[in-house]
A and B are shown apart, each in its own frame.
Chain A
Amino acid sequence: MNRRHTPFIFALLFLTSLSTFTASAQEAITMGYFSRVGIQPGIQAGLLFDLGSINDSGTRARSVFLSPQAAVFTRPGINTNYLLRVESGISQKSRSERSFSALSVSAGYLFKTEVESVSVSLGSGEITDKARTNTHHFVPALHSTYGRYFSEKWSWFTKIGLGYRFEKEDLGTTTLFFEAGVHLSLKNIAKS
């Protein structure tokens, strides 16, 4: 895959999902900060489908959700990562505390493009990427989410994830994800 094309393919996939979502008028859009190990910054966006309630006590409601997401994050100057994943789990909403939490699992495809070397101009100091490698990874992960509603349509959330990035030649590694962002609901979740 040509590196230049990657963001466009990514955007296309996301926009396709978004249009499908809009057409079906489902639950929420999610977006925010995304990082690996807290120090590799990025952004993420996704959709949140409520697949149905499994328990509703009046004050607390549990439901199953499905969330396709796209994220891009970078280790500055070293690598750029594009992640497509589908997350599914159980979300518990507390109507009295206007909060929610979730436990979930995800399966992701990670495309990593890494700088192997740079070319440095000894006159100007200009640095240009010289050689890159592209690798593809399967990244399953477990997630824990906590969030609160601050309006009828908006809520914030924080999420941590523990996953494993599979790679050939014994290069696989544990991966920590830290995420924070907002959900924009198309229904009044907090009141429902």
Chain B
Amino acid sequence: MKKRDFLKIGAALGLGLPFLGHLLSGCSEEDINTELFDVNFDGKVLIVGAGAAGITAGYILQRHNIDFEIIEASAVHGGRIKKTETLADFPIDLGAEWLHDEPSMLAQMLRDDSIQDNVEMIEYAPPKISVWRDGKLRKRNFFSNFYAEYKFKSTTWYDYFERYMIPGIQRQIRYNQPVAAIDHSGSEVTVRTANNETFTGDRLILTVPLTILKNERIDFTPAFPADKTAALEKVDMPDGVKVFIRFRENFYPDIAFEGGIIENGLGGAEGEKIYYNAAFRKDSDSNVLALFTVGAPATVYATQPSEEALMTYIMNELDEWFDGKASANYEAHVIQNWSAEPYIGGSYSHYEDEDVQSTLKRAIDNKIFFAGETYAPSASIATVHGAALSAYDAVEALLKNEG
């Protein structure tokens, strides 16, 4: 069950009746804080990573007229936000796909009341739910009462960043520059990349995925703090795979879980695995069934020896679930194995102990700041908007310059 449903349950049980009229009205307004931060800093900021947090950090700094550069390891920006337009008649999010909060969060992430645009979001509360259990696909539509999130209707997370944040900051992004070392022993911060290029700034915001730090792929001078290293052991970023398959016909429910819904679907401790109708409410003629899996259930997919082997495994599974209809209707597919992405290496953060987050998030010597889904406010850990909010936190602390 996602945070949004917790909020709704709370509202329903405690506040539902007094606000019934409001709930029925179908219209609401949010207070969006558009004030800029107090600035007590006028140097240069290096941002490592051009994913959701890095892009947002650059966007905020640009609005505060602070000099910055974004150092990105790969040839593209976005990180775990990525899209394809080749498989279906609608753009598909290959990475982050859902919005795990109210849609007004999209405005909260921009904090710019001069923006006139609207974006359409799908109420993602699929009514047709099934469970694969004991060799049989069983209808469980009742569980649709407990699940709801939002998705972009005709755009994607990638489009959101591309349109509203990237234009103002793209000239500051340095692509194909995987960071190998960070030296903050002097008055400045120096970054050396695998290409032996050097970048220098007064502060640094580190937004790399957790796996990069856990695997010690960046050398720190002075050494990475011991308490942070210990805290890293209590956070995992397990395997993550998404596969989108286009079929001639729709023969599947909106969501199909394997095993129990509670243990495998709605945030089970070991991970998640669902097949879902990616075209749900998309105004699409394409029939696209997607696999989304993270954590333990994802490993069997992430570790297949080749894409052909992975697709054979998936098609066999789907044929078993749907009586051979998958093979009979198959047209095309797209695989996104996030575990195999060289500068990502997994899905998103799974905390064993969220108490260690404050240790991980704490800035080093008022020079190295941290942002990303790992460091998001607790209700939004492992989400895109959480990554963006953590960037606001990091930039605010940096600009206060109270170290």
Seen from chain A, the residues whose Cβ lies within 8 Å of a Cβ on chain B are 33, 35-43, 74-78, 80, 114-130, 167, 169-175
Contact = CB atoms under 8 A, between A and B. Distances in A.
A124 B32 contact: yes
Contacts of A127: 27-30, 102-104
A121 B118 contact: yes
A43 B20 contact: yes
Given A76-B12, A122-B164, 8 more contacts: A38-B13, A39-B9, A40-B12, A41-B13, A42-B20, A122-B115, A123-B115, A129-B27
A173 B142 contact: yes
B102 A39 contact: no
Given A80-B24, A128-B26, A41 B120 contact: no
Contacts of A172: 141
Contacts of B253: 170
Contacts of A40: 12, 145
A118 B116 contact: no
Interface stretch (B46-54, B78-86, B106-114, B362-370): B106-114
Contacts of A169: 128
Contacts of A115: 26, 123
Interface string B15-52: 01100100110111111100000000000000000000
A120 B123 contact: no
Given A123-B112, A127-B27, A129-B26, A75 B145 contact: yes
A18 B13 CA distance: 29
Contacts of B144: 173
B136 interface: no
Contacts of B12: 35, 39-41, 76
A4 to B, nearest CB: 11
Interface SS of chain B: mixed
Contact of A117 (B11, B27, B32, B281): B281
Contact of A174 (B13, B30, B142): B142
Contacts of A173: 127, 141-142, 144
26 contacts: A39-B9, A39-B13, A74-B24, A75-B8, A77-B148, A116-B122, A116-B281, A117-B120, A118-B121, A119-B118, A120-B107, A120-B118, A121-B118, A122-B112, A122-B118, A122-B164, A123-B112, A124-B32, A125-B32, A125-B106, A125-B107, A126-B30, A127-B27, A127-B103, A129-B26, A173-B141
Interface residues of B, number: 51
A80 B142 CA distance: 17
Interface SS of chain A: strand
Contacts of B141: 171-174
B29 A126 contact: yes
Most buried by B among A40, A120, A130: A120
B217 interface: no
A123 B116 contact: yes
A119 to B, nearest CB: 5
Nearest to A175: B142
Contacts of A130: 120, 153
Given A33-B17, A123-B115, A39 B103 contact: no
B396 to A, nearest CB: 20
A120 B28 contact: no
A123 B123 contact: no
A125 B33 CA distance: 10
Contacts of A171: 127-128, 141
A119 B119 contact: yes
Contacts of A175: 142
A77 B281 contact: no
B30 A124 contact: yes
Nearest to B19: A76
B107 A124 contact: yes
Contact of B145 (A37, A42, A74, A170): A37
